[in-house]
Amino acid sequence: MTALAVACVFDRSLNLLEKRSEISRVAFPYVTGLLAFREIPSIFCVLRKIKIEPDLFLCDGHGYCHPRRFGIACHLGVVLNKPSIGCAKSRLVGKYKEPANKRGSFEYIFDSDEKIGACIRTKVGSKPIFVSVGHKVTLNDAIKVSLNLTTKFRIPEPLRIADLLTKQLKHLPF
């Protein structure tokens, strides 16, 4: 089995500065809640190709808002010793109230009495996203960054562009 990893570097104005991709073999089977063990090796392969060192990593997956409190955003941030944020399209664990149908509205996600993330409405009329701390950021900063990186679509622009590139590359013959 193979994995396609894409890494994109943006400036603070959301201009795409660099993009890289890597196809690599996957050694770990798919296990719910253990995404990092399957995908981190491929991510490291593509990150070695990046020439511009990122200040922060935005991961398509969870950080602290994870059954083991250590999702892919935590793994990446800790290993690289860089700030990281987990930004997912679906909830993995915890309970929350639905945020108001207004851009920027959010509700914290709790597991028992522990605050583990935030459910954020990035666009009126669309489903919320799920944001949590990866490494070296606060939850409030993770919320602000995720909202600042979201333009007219539901998910933050860097993740949206990386996802589009992945879909384009999947259709190319290798």
Residue-level pLDDT at 13: 93
At the topology level of CATH, where does 2-166 sit?
Answer: archaeoglobus fulgidus dsm 4304 fold (3.30.2170)
Residue 100 carries which DSSP code?
Answer: P
Dump pLDDT digits (tens) for 81-92: 999 999 999 999
CA geometry: angle 107, 112, 113, nearest 5 deg: 70
Residue-level pLDDT at 172: 63
Q: Does an H or E element contain 44, and which?
A: helix 35-47
> Could you tell me the residue ranges of all domains in the chain?
2-166
> How far is C-alpha 169 from the chain's CA centre?
19
Dump pLDDT digits (tens) for 3-57: 889 999 999 999 999 999 998 888 888 888 888 888 999 999 999 999 999 999 9
In 3D space, the residue among 91, 150, 93, 142 whose CA is nearest the CA of residue 121 turns out to be 150
pTM of the model: 0.94
User: Residues 6 or more apart from 78 whose CB is under 8 A from it?
Assistant: 135
Pairing of strands 16-25, 57-60: unpaired
Q: Report the distance separating Cα 133 and Cα 85, nearest Å.
A: 5
